[in-house]
Amino acid sequence: MAKRNYVKHYEEYFGIEIPEGFVIHHIDGNRENNNIDNLIMIPKKLHARYHFFARQIEAMKIAMDMDNVYKAWAFEGYSEVIKECKKYINQKYCMEMSKHIGVK
């Protein structure tokens, strides 16, 4: 399977090959925005969980009513996924800093 342009862009920018089990995610959700600042490498399973909870939340009409209070699990799950993504954002930041100071 041919690599998508944004994956090639990420690999070339950081001088790496995306490891098995990881994907490149568009942070702002816009697949047309392939700016390196909008791309992050995260595990496939985390990516799937991210989109699962994002879809659940998008489907809800957010209001403070009992129905949505009972659906709070989606918000809790989404929050946990976002917290887990933070370590990959930090990892990318470290890669960016290493790139600029010439460390591999």
Please tell me the predicted confidence (pLDDT) of residue 61: 61
Give the range with max mean pLDDT: 25-34, 47-56, 70-79: 25-34
Provide the pLDDT confidence category of residue 75 given band limits of 50, 70 and 90: confident
pLDDT at 89 over 80: yes
Q: Where are the domains of the chain?
A: 5-101
Please tell me the predicted confidence (pLDDT) of residue 76: 85
Provide the pLDDT confidence category of residue 13 given band limits of 50, 70 and 90: very high
d(CA 15, CA 82): 26
- Helices 5-14 + 72-101 axis angle, to 10: 50
Confidence (pTM): 0.67
Which residue in 87, 85, 26, 82 sits closest to 53, CA to CA? 82
